[in-house]
Amino acid sequence: MASGLSTRGLIFRQLFDRESCTYSYILGDANTKEAILIDPVFGLAQRDRTLVEELGLNLRYVMNTHVHADHVTGTGLLKETLGTSVKSVISSASGADANVKLNHGDNLSFGNFTLEVRGTPGHTNGCVCYVFHEGRMVFTGDTLLIRGCGRTDFQEGSAETLYNSVKTQIFELPEDYLVYPAHDYKGMTCSSVGEEKKFNPRLTKDIDTFKAIMDNLGLPYPKMLDKAVPANKVCGLYNLPPEMEEVLKSTNKNNN
């Protein structure tokens, strides 16, 4: 976090889901108590809700960087348990339902802080990054991972588009901006724009080499793909498998 920000009232938490290796992020304004939550995971909605309450925050927006394919989002569940004042957020280009649909160049405020929305298609058409200039941070979703990037072999993925998105929308940011991705599979927590420009083994290459790397990743499809994508088009509340219906019931019970 940029120095001095905590004295200006930024509350920042990075949260992890061990199953899908997903990071979620809480950003709050200690003065107004308004907060946002980026990329929540369905099964951890109760954890997130408890933390938000313990920190004395009021969630204004629960937002996603894109329609995730490897886990069901906690957005709808958190909205159900926290009330209608919480708004769900995703990009217009994602084709998903939400209260607020964002476009490239939009700004989103919580308390006295603002995020800039940058369209970064490539992993999916609807991917966006959230740039927090005051905090010198960028939330890159699956577009840019630490020393990696999102795969481009399904959900309208395109290696060329992702490459251009990273180069024009992320690598043009100041090098000290910290990079907070939606996943890490090797135990890393954050990086910086400068580090990724120098050391990212995919995005330091020319476009043809990058495309060849992406064509040969050889990754199996995410185990949740068929369930997660349709569910995440409606904030994670659709045709839930039985174990998730149980999470929904128990979260609602705890809420009463």
Interface residues with ligand L3IBWBLD (CB under 6 A) are: 20, 69-70, 142, 148, 150-151, 183, 185, 217, 219, 222-224
Q: How far is the CB of 222 from ligand L3IBWBLD (least distance, A)?
A: 3
- Alpha carbons 77 and 95: distance in angstroms, whole number: 20
Single-letter residue type at 139? F
Rank residues 116 and 156 by Cβ distance to ligand L3IBWBLD and give the closer one: 156
Least CB distance to ligand L3IBWBLD at residue 183 (A): 5
Q: Give the whole-angstrom CA distance, residue 115 versus residue 105.
A: 10
Sign of the alpha-carbon torsion through 150, 156, 160, 164: negative
Kindly state the smallest distance separating residue 193's Cβ from ligand L3IBWBLD, in Å.
Answer: 19
Q: Which is nearer to ligand L3IBWBLD, 39 or 48 (CB)?
A: 39
H helices of 200-234, in order, are 207-215, 225-232
- State in angstroms the smallest separation of the CB of 70 from ligand L3IBWBLD: 3
**What is the smallest separation between the CB atom of 151 and ligand L3IBWBLD, expressed in angstroms?**
4
Q: Please say which residue, 212 or 217, places its beta carbon nearer to ligand L3IBWBLD.
A: 217
d(CA 238, CA 231): 5
Phi/psi region, residue 211 (left: phi>0; alpha: psi -120 to 50; beta: rest), is alpha
CB-count exposure of residue 209 (10 Å: 0-12, 13-18, 19+): exposed
Q: How far is the CB of 22 from ligand L3IBWBLD (least distance, A)?
A: 8
Radius of gyration in angstroms for the set of CA atoms belonging to the chain, rounded to a whole number: 17
Q: Which is nearer to ligand L3IBWBLD, 219 or 243 (CB)?
A: 219
Residues 6+ away with beta carbon under 8 Å from 69 = 154, 155, 222, 224, 225, 228, 229, 232
CA distance 224 to 249: 21
Backbone angles phi, psi at 31, to 5 degrees: -80, -45
Closest CA to 165 of 181, 185, 150: 150
Query: What is the smallest separation between the CB atom of 242 and ligand L3IBWBLD, expressed in angstroms?
Result: 19
Smaller CB distance to ligand L3IBWBLD: residue 79 or 151? 151
Give whichever of 79 and 227 is closer to ligand L3IBWBLD, judged by the CB atom: 227
Cβ proximity to ligand L3IBWBLD: between 20 and 161 the closer is 20
3-state DSSP assignment of residue 51: helix
